[in-house]
Structures are given as C-alpha cells and as structure tokens.
C-alpha cells in the first residue's frame, strides 16, 4: 500500500469532494493491501472515492457500479489512467452479485456504498432533484428508465401520494400536500418543480415554513419512489455482504434515517449469533459471520462538515467478515 496523500492531478478532481474519504480508506485498508484485492464501489458516481483508492493501492482492482450513465461517463474519463485495473458496470447496486459473476469474480476484499443522491445529480439542474431550482420533474438516477416524478404526480392517487410522502419523506403534512397536489393537477398537470414548490408552499402553514423549506421532504419522497431506493437497498446490502471474502470489509455511508435503519438492521443481523435463546454453549455454526467495526454510526468531523456541507447528515457503518456461514 502506498501512503501517498497528495491531491489528485485529475482535471475532474475539483468537481466533487468525497465524503469521509480518509476514514473510508482507513477502514478498508486492512482488507485491500493484499495483491489482487478487489474493491466494489457500489455507488461510483463521479469516482472521487474510487480514484483515491486506486491511487493509494497500486495493485487494487476496482469494480465500479452506477445506474447513472452520465456518472459512468465522467468516472470513465476520470479513471482512464487506471484503465487496466477497473471495470465499470451500468447497474443498480442490488445487481452487485450479477455484475461480479459477469466479470468472473467470486468474492471481493471490500465493498463501499455512498448512498443517496449524488453531487452530479444535485448540481445538474435539469435532472430535477433540487427544490431550489425550477426544472423538469424528472428525478431519475438512471435516465434510461421511463418512470419519472412527473408520472407519479400525474398518476398516483391521493392515498398513494400521502403514503409515499409519509413513509419516504417522514412528512407530517403528507395528507395536506397530497390533497393539494390532486386538486391542483386537475386544472394543470405538474411538469416542472417550480410549480410543485408553489403548491406545497401555499399548503404549508406560515409557522411551519419558518422551520425549513416545506418542499424538502416531498422531494425526498418522490426521489426515493422514482428510483425505488429503499427496496433496492434492502436487497443490495445482503447481496454485498454475500460477496465479501473472509477478512474482507464493507463500509456504508447513509444520509437519511430510512436508509441508515436498513443498513443498521442488515449489519446487526450479519454480526449477531444465530444460537437459540437459552442454549448453554454457542456452537460454531451459530457464531456471527461478521463483526461490526464501529459501535453505532460514525459521523463526519466538525471540520469536514464545515469544509464539505454535504457530509453533515452522513452516518457511516462498517463490518468485517469473520467466516463463511456453514
């Protein structure tokens, strides 16, 4: 392993600041130092984390997964100097098993997840992820799919809108917003984010508006529904754990509570004993398969939050495989 800590010379390195980069490297390093190690970056994005790992570990092979074709194009350009050590795959991260099988890789030394919407998706206004800029109501992470936020707002019943705002946005005014949207779309369909923000704001009591942007949770809920983020994540973490070799490690960064709860449950299940309650002696086959590397979830430092505001909500969890299940 090289200890070169110099900044990247890539012309793309300035467009994205990876969250908790040094901590991710520290946690995964023990598993990646051996020759021939393979790391899966399951949420490649613009390859900020991937580039750093390839620089630090000169014998590392990286498999980068992303559903966003724009991100894959940028990552391919950024990682061109490492072309003989990378495999970039267009897939959602619950396709990790199929991606590795297609590459003939039976198991890996490490897996990294950096969940949520990417910097690329937020910063490109025309993608429609931000409630602060007027744009088409798109919100697709994979622009090859057909399902958009515009379709949800046009086709979902009031009850279904209320459900996703409540369940995926944890929005207390879900019923009020769903009713306002259904009433408004009868006159004019929702096509752009600016009009949706106007309707939500008009339906929000003034006192509540002072507590934060009223559209924030609705936009989160729509994004999660468009991209089926929670359903995908619920499949992806077990699939990723299955791919990790003995001594291998997984690091997951989540940015909202719904994601973090799923990650917490999956890692807790993998790191817990399966022995029946009251069994006097734990048999080898009941011993935990993984061990947690962090107690609870780790947050970004105050310095990093100040330098990179997108690190503010992050919750990092990590585990190491102890053995193969019998």
The predicted-structure confidence for 244-269, as pLDDT tens digits, reads as follows 999 999 999 999 999 999 999 999 99
Nearest to 88, CA basis, from 113, 112, 109, 71 = 71
Question: Does 228 count as an annotated binding residue?
Answer: no
Pairing of strands 290-292, 86-90: unpaired
Kindly state whether residues 136 and 219 are assigned to the same domain. yes
- Assigned token pair, 128: 């429609």
Nearest to 68, CA basis, from 138, 152, 159 = 138
Percent of the chain with pLDDT over 90: 78
291 or 281, which is more confident: 291
Kindly state whether residues 57 and 106 are assigned to the same domain. yes
- Could you identify the residue written with the tokens 């991606």? 99
Q: Say how many C-beta atoms besides its own lie within 10 A of residue 306's C-beta.
A: 11
- Name the percent of the chain in helix, strand, coil, to the closest 5: 50, 15, 40
Kindly state whether residues 154 and 196 are assigned to the same domain. yes
Question: Does 116 count as an annotated binding residue?
Answer: no
Residue 4 lies in a domain: no
For residues 219 and 164, what is the distance between their CA atoms, to the nearest angstrom? 11
**Mean pLDDT, all residues of the chain:** 90
For residues 58 and 4, what is the distance between their CA atoms, to the nearest angstrom? 11
For residues 293 and 296, what is the distance between their CA atoms, to the nearest angstrom? 9
Question: Does 48 count as an annotated binding residue?
Answer: yes
| 262 burial type by CB count under 10 A (0-12 exposed, 13-18 middle, 19+ buried) | buried
Residue 296 has pLDDT above 60, yes or no: yes
pLDDT of 286 reads 62
pLDDT of 7 reads 39
Kindly state whether residues 222 and 246 are assigned to the same domain. no
Residue 214 lies in a domain: yes
CATH value at residue 59: 3.40.50.150
Nearest to 236, CA basis, from 97, 139, 44 = 97
Q: Which helix (H) or strand (E) holds 41?
A: strand 38-41
Question: Does 31 count as an annotated binding residue?
Answer: no
pLDDT of 3 reads 32
Identify the domain boundary among 227, 262, 294. 227
For residues 316 and 113, what is the distance between their CA atoms, to the nearest angstrom? 10
- Best-predicted range by mean pLDDT among 55-64, 137-146, 207-216? 55-64
Question: Does 66 count as an annotated binding residue?
Answer: yes
Average pLDDT over residues 114-143: 82
Enclosing domain of residue 189: 127-227
Kindly state whether residues 195 and 221 are assigned to the same domain. yes
Residue 54 lies in a domain: yes
Average pLDDT over residues 274-299: 77
Residue 121 lies in a domain: no
Nearest to 184, CA basis, from 173, 192, 172 = 192
Kindly state whether residues 178 and 248 are assigned to the same domain. no
- Residue 39 near residue 27, CB atoms below 8 Å: no
Kindly state whether residues 223 and 235 are assigned to the same domain. no
Q: How many domains does one find in the chain?
A: 2
What's the pTM value of the predicted model, to 2 decimals? 0.88
Residue 120 lies in a domain: no
- Residue 175 near residue 164, CB atoms below 8 Å: no
Residue 56 has pLDDT above 90, yes or no: yes
CATH value at residue 216: 1.10.150.170
Identify the domain boundary among 227, 250, 284. 227
The 10s digit of each residue's pLDDT in 154-196 is 999 999 999 999 999 999 999 999 999 999 998 999 999 999 9
Kindly state whether residues 27 and 75 are assigned to the same domain. yes
pLDDT of 274 reads 58
The 10s digit of each residue's pLDDT in 93-116 is 999 999 999 999 999 999 999 998
Residue 210 lies in a domain: yes
Residue 70 lies in a domain: yes
Question: Does 49 count as an annotated binding residue?
Answer: yes
C-alpha distances (whole Å) from 306 to each of 19, 216, 312 are 12, 22, 8
Question: Does 167 count as an annotated binding residue?
Answer: no
Residue 201 lies in a domain: yes
- Residue 40 near residue 101, CB atoms below 8 Å: no
For residues 63 and 111, what is the distance between their CA atoms, to the nearest angstrom? 9
Identify the domain boundary among 227, 253, 270. 227
């Amino acid at each position: 392993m090289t200890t070169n800590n110099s900044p990247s010379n890539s012309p793309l390195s300035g467009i994205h600041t990876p969250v908790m980069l040094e901590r991710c490297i520290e946690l995964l390093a023990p598993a990646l130092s051996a020759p021939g190690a393979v790391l899966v970056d399951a949420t490649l994005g613009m390859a900020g984390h991937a580039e750093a790992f390839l620089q630090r570990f000169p014998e590392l092979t990286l498999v980068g997964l992303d559903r966003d074709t724009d991100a894959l194009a940028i990552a391919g350009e950024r990682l061109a100097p490492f072309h003989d050590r990378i495999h970039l795959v267009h897939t959602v991260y619950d396709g990790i098993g199929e991606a590795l099988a297609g590459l003939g890789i039976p198991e890996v030394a490490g897996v990294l997840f950096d969940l949520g919407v990417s910097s690329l998706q937020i910063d490109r206004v025309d993608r429609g992820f931000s409630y602060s800029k007027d744009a088409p109501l798109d919100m697709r992470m994979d622009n090859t799919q057909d399902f958009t936020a515009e379709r949800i707002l046009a086709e979902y019943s009031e009850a279904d809108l209320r459900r996703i705002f409540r369940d995926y946005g944890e929005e207390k005014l879900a019923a009020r917003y769903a009713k306002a949207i259904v009433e408004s779309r009868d006159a004019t369909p929702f096509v752009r984010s600016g009009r949706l923000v106007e309707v939500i704001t008009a339906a929000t009591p003034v006192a509540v508006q002072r507590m934060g942007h009223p559209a924030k949770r609705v936009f989160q809920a729509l994004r999660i529904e468009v991209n089926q983020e929670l359903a995908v994540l619920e499949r992806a973490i077990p699939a990723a754990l299955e791919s990790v070799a003995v001594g291998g490690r997984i690091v997951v960064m989540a940015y909202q509570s719904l994601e973090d709860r799923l990650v917490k449950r999956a890692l807790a299940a993998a790191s817990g004993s399966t022995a029946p309650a009251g069994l006097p002696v734990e048999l080898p086959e009941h011993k935990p398969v993984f061990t947690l590397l962090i107690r609870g979830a780790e947050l970004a430092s105050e310095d990093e939050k100040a330098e990179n505001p997108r690190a503010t909500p992050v919750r990092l969890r990590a585990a190491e495989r102890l053995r193969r299940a019998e």
